[in-house]
Amino acid sequence: MGSSLPSRLLTQHNEPLSQRIWPESIRKVSKTGYGCQFSEELSLLANRYAHSVGDRLVFVSVETVNSQVLDTFQTYMVIPRPDSGILKRVYANILGSDGFLSLDIPEKILKRLYTYGSLKDTEEGAEFEVKNRLQDAKFSGISRLAINGVEIKPEDVRLETASGEVYQLEEVTAEQPITFSVGDTVYVVVQGVNLDTGDHKIDLEFTAEPFGDLSLSITDTIRDEGELPSIPRDDQDNYSERAIKQRHEYLKEKTGVELEHVPEFSFDAHTGEGNIENFIGVAQMPLGIAGPLKVNGEHADGEYPIPLATTEGTLVASYSRGMKAINMAGGAKTTVVDDRMNRAPVFVFEDARKARDFREWVFDHYDTIKQKAEETSSVAELVEIEDYMTNNLANFRFSFQTGDAAGQNMVGKATFAACNWILQEYPGYVENFYLEGNLATDKKASKINDMKTRGKRVTAEVTLDEKTCLHHLGAEPESMAHHGKISDINAFFGGLDSNGAHAANGLAALFIACGQDEANVAESHATIGNVTLLDDNSLHVSVTIPSLIVATYGGGTGLPTQRECLQMLDCDGAGNVNKFAEIAAATVLAGELSLGAAISASDWVTSHDELGRNR
């Protein structure tokens, strides 16, 4: 069909699409904010006069009069065939889309720019929020705003940023945009408009580069919630002595409790900023020392006193007993065999075939996706993207190495940046997207972690001779091995996520003492244990933790008492996370030995009676 066009059409206006404006006579912009809808006549015309000629798309526009197409050429352009992204999508859809031209942002994703629940009636007028949840951009102004069908005049609109900058709408233009980075909020104040409680429809058309012209049509609600109770806060300094005292007084008034021990803390309350909100004091947990524990690792090599914070009597004593057995055998051999932290985005498609095609495109562009992810951090390194396809969903697990940080927030930011690039560049249509589809299994044990690793995958092992089993642990090696097999059977029978005895006990106590995220015990406790009776009646015991999530930098590791506990282990600060992981695994091994022997020798109940009497 291209050959039927006049030759002069192939020689003029040879600029790229980015340098020319789409002829208004060809396009009709829809109000959904994520696409253009061709009229039936113009769709037919586009199919007739938009042709592939070599590596270029020749696009001819015409005038329309009274909805009739005049077959006379007015203007035209020549568009180079794009390699990727939105231009490639435009190119493909013009030639075979039945008139619909899909753009970058699906409506369901676009609506996330609006903060639901932000609409409120103030003394100045109505106010709502637009927050960038997509990618770094520049906010270039509002072209139309209507509330409940009433058009708002531009001079009645004021824009405010979270940093306190204030603009009249006319001041914000393409030449003078507002920086609109990911996470930034723009507050839209409509002066002189007062809203009652109830539902209100907001129609908003605005421009944000690189997205272009966007449209939102949403319904938000102003609720009459009365005066709700709240905790005293100081917006200027919520960690000040005054703010803390106000909360103490609030608790006394509400509960009748006058705090005596909670307010007794030894560090500057401002140290807790970023770790705790509405600070009132500290929960003082008893802290004991187990061991020392001899570790023969690739990162941890020596004898370590193990700080354990717990309220459970016998726990420190039990772990110390297991550590002594390990020491008698010459120490625990520890090995970190894998390291990765995950985020699992999910992309939604019309059907499974489109999801499959998308997966192939992602893997074809792995190098660029890796680059976009790693640009967000000096530490995060993308090592693998795993795919898990089900129904019309393309699930991925982005797996990173994160240095000495546990890394959940780090990999979330990196994956978000990569997914934004994917959404912008993928030439097909993504119906919806979520940064986390629950396959990273945050704070949950899972079989996928057992197989693929989350955090550190580390093994601790030791071989105990018969005398150590009998005279120190008080159990025969045969009995301990037999009990191990029964535990394996019943772990399978009961559907357990671990065949171990009580890894959560030691890990929780160690995590609290050393400033780890204690909720990560949910994943980290899922151990894989193995007990083998050897020919000389000695016992080889090993424990693998496939998802040990630990850190020696960031989070709670910098708090004063937690940092001191890490210092006891020579594990504070950068460069020590694998060392700490090996010590943690060896600690778990000690607990498994002690409890396994106590059960095998029927000493479990009597030991608790002896050392746990303060119940």
| CA-closest candidate to residue 450, choices 536, 548, 519, 321 | 548
Reading the block at residue 262, the tokens are: 């909670």
Give pLDDT, residue 35: 32
Classified by CATH at the fold level, domain 289-338+455-611 comes out as 3.90.770
Helices (H), 68-147: 85-96, 107-110
Give pLDDT, residue 64: 36
Run means of pLDDT, 10 residues per run, the chain, 615 residues: 33 33 34 35 42 39 37 36 44 41 57 89 92 85 93 93 90 90 90 93 88 86 83 94 96 96 95 95 96 97 98 95 97 97 95 97 97 94 97 97 92 93 89 93 93 96 96 94 94 92 96 96 96 96 97 94 97 95 98 94 60 53
Reading the block at residue 59, the tokens are: 């696009």
Residue 156 annotated to the active site: no
Distance between CA atoms of residues 155 and 153, nearest Å:
6
Give pLDDT, residue 603: 60
Residue spans in the chain of domains classed CATH 3.90.770.10:
289-338+455-611
Q: How many CA atoms lie within 13 A of 67 on its CB side?
A: 2
CATH code of 345-440, in short, is 3.30.70.420
Reading the block at residue 478, the tokens are: 């045969």
Q: Strands 50-53 and 56-65, how do they pair?
A: antiparallel
Q: How far is CA 160 from CA 110, 156, 165, 171, in A?
A: 21, 13, 6, 12
Residue 517 annotated to the active site: yes
CA 46 to chain centre: 43
Helices 366-374/352-364 angle, 10° precision: 70
Instruction: Tell me the sheet residues that pair with 201.
Output: 219
Helices 315-328/503-513 angle, 10° precision: 100
Give pLDDT, residue 612: 57
Tell me the backbone φ, ψ of residue 70, rounded to 5 degrees: -95, 125
Give pLDDT, residue 389: 97
DSSP state at residue 470? I
Residue 608 annotated to the active site: yes
Among 160, 312, 357, 476, the active-site one is 312
Can you list the pairs that 492-500 forms with residues at least 24 positions away whose Cβ atoms lie under 8 Å? 497/445, 497/446, 497/447, 497/450, 497/526, 498/445, 498/525, 498/526, 498/527, 498/528, 498/529, 499/527, 499/528, 499/529, 500/525, 500/527, 500/528, 500/529, 500/543, 500/588, 500/592
Residue spans in the chain of domains classed CATH 2.60.40:
108-222
Give pLDDT, residue 229: 87
Among 13, 472, 540, 608, the active-site one is 608
Answer yes or no: CATH 2.60.40 is held by domain 108-222: yes
Helices 604-611/577-600 angle, 10° precision: 110
Give pLDDT, residue 583: 98
Q: How far is CA 119 from CA 114, 148, 156, 193, in A?
A: 10, 13, 17, 12
Among 517, 518, 564, 603, the active-site one is 517
